[in-house]
Amino acid sequence: MEGEGCFTLYQRRPGHRTYYIAQIAAAQVDNVPLLRLKRMFGGNIHLKPRKDERHRDIWYWEVGSAQTLRKILPLVIPYLSRGGNKVKQARLLLEFCRTIDSRRGALKISEQEHEERMSFVTRLAALKRVA
């Protein structure tokens, strides 16, 4: 996760609803480590073909359920460099996921909840710019 991993949080607005999507992803040219992640945590694996003949195809593993991330992140965080940017991103993503009530599903949220969630999106984006 440290080098090839990514902690993501973004907003989507299809139609009249706004969704906030939290996600962990990892990329490798060899899919074996990603298959292990999938066995351990679930998620999906897909292949992104190379754009340039000088490069190799890349495999991606992604998982994006707040409920699942609440289980994965506490297991991953201890293995990230202390004080490093990735550990800050992972902790912020975990904090965000803990605010999501999985029982509510895609129910409409208040304006205050939108503002709080956008604050997480903005803070994570700022951490990624520092990296």
The residue among 15 and 41 whose pLDDT is bigger is 41
Tokens representing residue 86 in the block: 């990735």
Kindly report the number of other CB atoms within 10 A of residue 96's CB atom: 23
DSSP state of 81: P
pTM: 0.83
Averaged pLDDT for residues 55-72: 90
How much is the pLDDT for 37? Answer: 92
Given a cut of 60, whether residue 111 has pLDDT beyond it is yes
How much is the pLDDT for 47? Answer: 92
How much is the pLDDT for 17? Answer: 73
How much is the pLDDT for 1? Answer: 57
Place of tokens 């208040």: 110
Range of 19's domain? 5-130
In contact, 20 and 117? CB cutoff 8 Å: yes
58-63, strands of its sheet edge to edge: 5-12, 19-28, 58-63, 44-48
Given a cut of 70, whether residue 98 has pLDDT beyond it is yes
Averaged pLDDT for residues 97-109: 70
Given a cut of 70, whether residue 2 has pLDDT beyond it is no
What CATH number does the domain containing 20 carry? 3.10.28.10
How much is the pLDDT for 49? Answer: 80
Given a cut of 80, whether residue 96 has pLDDT beyond it is yes
If one counts the domains in the chain, the total is 1
In contact, 4 and 28? CB cutoff 8 Å: yes
